[in-house]
Structure formats: C-alpha cells, structure tokens
C-alpha cells in the first residue's frame, strides 16, 4: 500500500472491520436468518478478505509510525463522539419544552447532518460533525447549552478536538476522494467497509438487549478495545 494512503483513518477502518468481521463469523449461525446472503460461506469469505487486508497493511514500512498516530487519532475520535453525545442528551433534557431551540440546535451544530452516520462508525462524518459543531458554536448558543449546569469542559473538549483533528484533514479527504484511491487495497478497504457497516447496523439492532455482543459490532467500541 502506498504511504499516502496509510493514515490513521485507513488503519482504524481496517482494524475495526477486522474485529467486527470476526464477531460476525463467530455469531453467523445466530445471525444467518436476518439476511438472505448471510451464511457460513459469506462470513468466511469476508473474514478471509479482512485478514488479507489487515496483513498487507501490517507489512507497510511506516506501519509502526501509523500506529502511534492512530493512538492519538483514536482518542480524539472517541472523546469527540462521547462529548457530542453528552451535549445532545443534556440539551434534549434541558430544553424538552422548547422545540424551536432544539430545532436550531440540531440543525446548526451538525446533529441533523452527521449524528446518525457518526455514531455508526463513519469516521469522516465524525470529522465533519466536530468541525461544524465548533465553527457554529456561537457565544449565544454556548450560553444556552450551559445554562442548566452542563460542565463547560465538555464543550471545550469538542472545540479542542476540532483543532487537533484538522491535522488529520488530508487523511480524511483521502478516504473520501475516489481520485486518490487507485491503490488496489484502498479500493478493497472501501468495499469491505461498506459491507461491514451494514453488518454493524443490523447486528447492533439485533443485539440491542445483549450489550456485550452489541458492543462487538460497534465501530468505535471495536476501535476502543483494540490493543495497540
């Protein structure tokens, strides 16, 4: 894989997909009835593909350097998503009787555009979400969000992370610019990610009342639990 494509976002995608695919294969007999194409052969094929991509990436000459960047990137992404979720829950509770403000809050700070995809593991959506949140967090909006006692450090964390994530902008752009993905393995990563994202959505819904299994199909939980 060319070094220009080896960045934390790419590495995280591969690692998370590899973990989720293994969970999928382990639970295929229970999940098979949910989708026509889901069977043992499908799971094994997907598992082999994820393993091949994972092994290829691990052989890259700058892999160790990328892992160090990934540790930083992972913490930024996870803490951002957590903070954004806390703010949403707090505002939803504090302003449950003010539909006008809630509409403005969801629209201006990116919840309408990015929250669903972000919480389902779309790294680029998290990046755009955090950027939009920080850019549109006016003093007036901040004052209203904090009015009922939310810890201001939660908002400060999002603003800080937004600046830090800008250092990875080129990486996020590469993951979403088809003209920069001529590399065979980059194309394979995109196909794998698309399939695994669908698995993640259905499996997390299926295991809604089984938190341990549900967690194994969540992109950010899988990423958080990786031993780096």
pLDDT (tens digit per residue) in 87-109: 999 999 999 999 999 999 999 99
Residue 179 pLDDT: 41
How far is it, in rounded angstroms, from Cα 141 to Cα 147?
Answer: 10
Residue 182 pLDDT: 42
* pLDDT of 178 above 60: no
Q: Across the chain, what does the average pLDDT equal?
A: 86
Residue 194 tokens, joined: 């698309």
pLDDT confidence bin for 198, thresholds 50/70/90: very high
pTM score: 0.73
Residue 58 pLDDT: 77
Chain center to CA of 149: 29
pLDDT confidence bin for 206, thresholds 50/70/90: very high
* pLDDT of 22 above 90: yes
Residue 4 pLDDT: 40
**How much is the CA Rg of the chain, to the nearest whole Å?**
19
* pLDDT of 123 above 90: no
How far is it, in rounded angstroms, from Cα 170 to Cα 185?
Answer: 19
Residue 175 pLDDT: 52
* pLDDT of 228 above 80: no
């Amino acid at each position: 894989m060319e070094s220009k494509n080896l960045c934390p976002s790419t590495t995280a995608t591969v690692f998370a997909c590899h973990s989720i695919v293994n969970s999928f294969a382990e639970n295929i007999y229970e999940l098979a009835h949910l989708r026509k194409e889901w069977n043992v052969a499908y799971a094994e094929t997907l598992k082999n593909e994820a393993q091949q991509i994972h092994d290829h990436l691990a052989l890259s000459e700058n892999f160790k350097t990328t892992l160090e960047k990934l540790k930083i990137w992972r913490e930024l992404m996870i803490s951002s998503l957590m903070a954004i979720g806390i703010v949403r829950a707090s505002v939803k509770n504090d302003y449950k009787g003010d539909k006008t403000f809630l509409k403005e809050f969801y629209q201006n700070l990116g919840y309408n555009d990015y929250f669903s995809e972000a919480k389902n593991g779309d790294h680029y959506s998290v990046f755009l979400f955090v950027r939009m949140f920080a850019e549109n967090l006016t003093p007036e909006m901040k004052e209203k969000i904090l009015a009922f006692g939310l810890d201001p450090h939660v908002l400060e964390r999002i603003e800080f992370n937004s600046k830090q994530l800008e250092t990875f902008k080129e990486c996020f752009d590469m993951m979403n610019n088809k003209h920069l993905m001529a590399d065979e393995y980059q194309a394979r990563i995109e196909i794998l990610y698309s399939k695994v994202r669908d698995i993640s959505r259905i499996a997390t819904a299926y295991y809604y009342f089984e938190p341990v299994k549900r967690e194994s199909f969540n992109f950010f939980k899988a990423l958080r639990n990786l031993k780096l």
